[in-house]
Each structure stands twice: as C-alpha cells, then as structure tokens.
Amino acid sequence: MAPANGDAAGPSSSQDGSAATMKKRNKPQYHPFTQQQLPACKPILAPQTVIPVLLFVGIVFIPIGLGCIAASNRVVEVVYQYETSCVPGYMIDNKIAYIQNPSIDTRILKVPKDMKQPIYIYYQLDKFYQNHRRYVTSRSDKQLRSPNEVSNTKSCKPEATEHGSPIVPCGLVAWSLFNDTYSFARGNEVLMVQKRGISWRSEREGIFGKQVYPRNFQNGTLIGGGTLDPRIPAGGPDRLDANRGAANVPEAVREDRGGPPRHELITVTLQNNYNTYSFGGKKALVLSTAGVLGGKSDFLGRGYVVVGLAFPLREEHLALRYPLSGGPA
C-alpha cells in the first residue's frame, strides 16, 4: 500500500510547487503606496484645538455678513408690478384678448431714496421657470453661429420647424422673447436708455454669427413673445442675446446730471404685450442701482451671520462639556 500512496502523492506535490512558483512570480513589487503605508497626518481633534478654530470662524464670518447686509441695504430698488394694474376693469376677465392689441399705460413711480447712476432696468417674471431643463436645452448654438447650420434644429423641439422649413432662431428660448416695452421721463425730460452692450461680450462675439438672419420666426399659430426684424442679424441688437440667458440682463438708464433724488417722480410709459396670463404669471418692472456685490439681496449676508453665530454656540457647548482638563464634565 505504501508504493500506491507514494505514487498518488507525487503528482500533487509537483502541482503545489508549480502553483507556489506562479504565485510568487505574479506577486506585485512592494511599494509603500500600493500597500497604503505612506506617512499620513492623523490629527486628533481635541477641545483645546477645536474651540479656538470655531471661535475664530465666528469672529471672521459675522463682520463679513454684516458688511454684505450693509452693502445690500445701500442698493435702492423701485419695483412696480403691473400685470393686473395695466388692464382696464372691463377686460379684467379677458386679459389675453386685451394684450392682442398694443396697449399703452402710463404710471408714476416715486423714488424712495437717492439713486446714483447708472440705474439698471430689469423685468421680473414669476412662475416662469426659465431654468427648467427642457427650456434651457431648447435652442441651437450651432444655428446661431453659422448660416450654414440653419437646418440644425434637432435640439429645438417643439419650436424647430414651420411647414417643413427650419425656424431661425429656433427653440423655446428664442420663441419666448420678452416684448414689453418701457420708456422713462423725469418731468419734461426724457431719460435715455442704453440698450447696447448689455450682454456678455463672449456671447456676442462667440455665439451669435453676424450673417444669421431670422427666418420663419413667430409664424406659427401660437405666438410666444416678440418678433425679430428679418433684416437684422438674430444677435445684432443685443435683444435676443440678453433674453436667451438663464437670467435677464439689465438695460441701463444713464443721466448726465446724476440719478433721481429722494421723492423724485419718474413717469413710466409701458406697453403690455407679453402673455403671462395663460400660466398665471406675474410681471414687474424693477429700477435698481448696483452695489459692490451687485443687486439687492440679503441672502449672502444673512448666511454669513447665521454661520458666524452657530460656530461660537457650538464652541460654547464644547467648552461646557469639555472643561480645560480635556475630558467630559
């Protein structure tokens, strides 16, 4: 029986030896990086180090927040909501029919504080979800850049073609072009509005081609907004360029003798054309100055103040729970 056992064990031993040799041959070369043995910093957060850091962050954040709030408070805004006030009482139940014909309304706005030039003009729309994914992607940058790409409308649905012919410019962004108009006067003096150069220079020069002219624009049965002159390039007058962004770009009122002082009366003549009534939206005209942080908004300043107050409160909690000895009280 011994020879039989010896014969059976012989091949197994040779196979184990070859497997061990193969395993050694495939073994990766030792390196501290592959073995995760590189030197590392492993700080232990103790109350003696965490409390000063939290206190320092609170001391820094609170003044920054108060400064942001102060800068926002120096911005002067005049907001006039007009989607209902510009419609006469006998048409209040049929607003869409009223705006089919040009309607001009004149209003007097009172300036609450001194406004320094330049004064920026914004239009504000509520319930108009301009950052919705399907709205933002419904356009063709290639079409706007080159006259050879006018048929590139695959990303423009549902405003891509009209009777088989491509719409230029196509897409919902261009189709919903805002077309209410405003003019301003102070007493008998007409205030000039600077409408050119209000969009980003990179977009004017990099996105809009100078030989792309509107075609079949707003020729369908459903009109979304304003029209474009087919004799002027689509991005020529800055009008479409300012409208196509995710947030509207302001026009600016510039005056040689400074902005209107406190309690000054500004006469606004506006034409109510844009349809926000079909989706229950609201419209507002905004006159605003600009501060070091832009327009009027307390959100950033309040955020800094809240964080700045929260950190010292956390520091106080740690100081009460972990006294100078370093252990729990």
Separation CA 276–CA 282 (nearest Å): 6
The encoded tokens of residue 329 equal: 């009280």
Query: 67 in helix, strand or coil?
Result: helix
pLDDT level of residue 20 (50, 70, 90 thresholds): low
User: Would you say residue 304 has pLDDT above 90?
Assistant: yes
Of 42, 123, 40, 49, the residue nearest 80 (C-alpha): 123
Question: Mapping DSSP to helix (H, G, I), strand (E, B) and coil, where does residue 319 land?
Answer: helix
Going by pLDDT thresholds of 50, 70 and 90, the confidence category of residue 1 is very low
Residues 6+ apart with CB under 8 A from 172: 134, 135, 138, 139, 156, 158, 159, 224
Q: Which secondary structure element, helix H or strand E, spans residue 145, and what is its range?
A: helix 141-145
Pick the more confident residue, 122 or 103. Answer: 122
**pLDDT, mean of residues 63-91:** 90
Q: What percent of the chain has pLDDT over 70?
A: 79
What pLDDT, on a 0 to 100 scale, did the predictor assign at position 68?
94
Q: What is the pLDDT of residues 104-145, one digit of tens each?
A: 889 999 888 888 888 888 888 888 888 888 888 888 888 888
- Measuring CA to CA, which residue among 127, 125, 152, 148 is closest to residue 139? 152
Percent of the chain exceeding pLDDT 90 equals 12
Q: Which strands, in side-by-side order, build the sheet including 119-126?
A: 77-81, 282-288, 119-126, 251-253, 193-194
Pairing between strand 119-126 and 161-162?
A: unpaired
pLDDT digits (tens, 9 = 90+) for 186-216: 888 888 887 777 777 777 777 777 788 888 8
Identify the pLDDT of residue 239. Answer: 53
Are 146 and 169 a contacting pair, CB within 8 Å? Answer: no
- Determine the pLDDT at residue 240: 56
pLDDT digits (tens, 9 = 90+) for 237-281: 445 554 544 344 445 544 434 566 767 888 999 988 888 888 889
Mean pLDDT taken over the chain: 78
